[in-house]
Chains A and B, each alone.
Chain A
Amino acid sequence: MVDYLWNTQSPLQKALVAGRHGVAGAQAGVTLVEVRDLVLVQVMARRGKAADTAKAAKKLFGVDAPNTPKAVAGKSATLVWSGPDQFTVLAPRTDESSQIDAMSQAFSGAASLSDQSDGRCLIRVSGPRGRDAIAKFSSLDLHDAAFPVGTAANTSVDHTAVNCWREANGADGHPVYSMLVFTSFADSLWHAIVDSSLEYGVDTSRTRAA
């Protein structure tokens, strides 16, 4: 029998060339990071079980699950709204099966879960010109007043579904946006972001979820 070796690899294996791209200068206008090693679970309340689902989420994560387009930081995970009565749970991968088991038990009977861990790619955009770069390909209104820290949105970029939310501002005081995209479209979104960022200078890298 042939032995198969299952190696997870980044959907940006080829596209992401770590380093500085575009305009050179002391400081890059945009910082682009692929965040790896995530556990990602989609939670969808069952018919008539929205309240039970909310209760289970509160118990497991210690916060109210978002019921409007928001991202909420909870115990050991971030909960990102992804539609009416559904949200996505994001956690750094530690022991995947026990992480998922814990969720299965907590939401048993209330919500349906779907493991998306290697089905999506998380890209983080920051830096002083990050927002300007995104504005070139996204139709979201990212003004501070319309899209403050903690805001989330399901949107589409070039016909591709993207979940976008705003993290706490970076150490440089500039906004930080996270974008979750299907792995099979990650390459194309990555290129769109890099292209849009070249004129500002862009630093690209890969990191582990923390």
Chain B
Amino acid sequence: MRIACPFCGERENGEFTYLGDASPKRPTFAVDSGESPERVEDAFYDYVYLRDNVAGFMREYWYHGGGCRSWLIAERNTVTHEFRSVTAAPGVGASKPVQAGE
């Protein structure tokens, strides 16, 4: 695999580190919001442990640690290893002000 970093250009995948599926979102529960512990636990169980483990195109995090040290989001086919897109993850670089949820 070669990965086209939006900042550095195409590089061999040894320069990158993989985190995994970019879709799980950390649950947000307001403290003391009256949510049942069961529901909170279920939500965290789902977030931490369960995976769609997609066969096909998947959005995933890669880190260009051997290059520009940016977090990236790639769309990659897990069956063929083909990349469809590679873009900067939210918060990379300093151009944009901090966005909610970063």
Q: Does A202 contact B (CB under 8 A)?
A: no
A210 within 8 A of B: no
- Could you tell me which residues of chain B, from 12 to 51, have a CB within 8 Å of some CB in chain A? 12, 14-15
Which residue from A50, A86, A161 sits with its C-beta under 8 Å from B66?
A161
Q: Across the interface, which residues of B come within 8 angstroms of A84, CB to CB?
A: 7, 68, 70, 88, 92-95
Q: How many chain-B residues does the 8 Å CB contact rule pick out?
A: 21
Smallest CB gap from B88: residue in A: A84
Confirm or deny: A8 has a beta carbon within 8 angstroms of a beta carbon on chain B.
no
B90 sits at the interface (CB 8 A): no
Chain B CB within 8 A of A22 CB = no
A153 contacts B8, C-beta separation under 8 Å: yes
Our pick among A48, A49, A53, A83 for the contact of B68 (Cβ within 8 Å) is A83
How many A residues have CB within 8 A of the partner chain? 24
Closest residue on chain A to residue B97 by CB atoms: A48
* B residues less than 8 Å from A169 (CB atoms): none
Instruction: Tell me, yes or no, whether A156 is within 8 Å of chain B by CB.
Output: yes
Minimum distance in angstroms from A47 CB to a CB of chain B: 5
Residues of A within 8 A of B8 (CB): 69, 153-154
B67 within 8 A of A: yes
The 8 Å CB contact of A50, one of B7, B14, B95, B98, is B95
Knowing A69-B8, A155-B11, the reply to whether A85 touches B95 (Cβ < 8 A) is: yes
Q: Mask for B78-93, Cβ within 8 A of A = 1, else 0? A: 0000000000100011
Chain B residues close to A by CB (< 8 Å): 7-12, 14-15, 66-70, 88, 92-98
Given contacts A45-B93, A47-B98, A84-B95, 4 further A-B contacts (CB under 8 A): A44-B94, A48-B96, A83-B68, A156-B67
Could you list some 21 contacts between A and B, CB below 8 A?
A45-B95, A48-B96, A48-B98, A50-B93, A68-B7, A69-B8, A83-B69, A84-B88, A84-B94, A85-B94, A85-B95, A86-B94, A139-B11, A139-B14, A153-B8, A153-B67, A154-B68, A155-B11, A155-B66, A156-B67, A161-B66
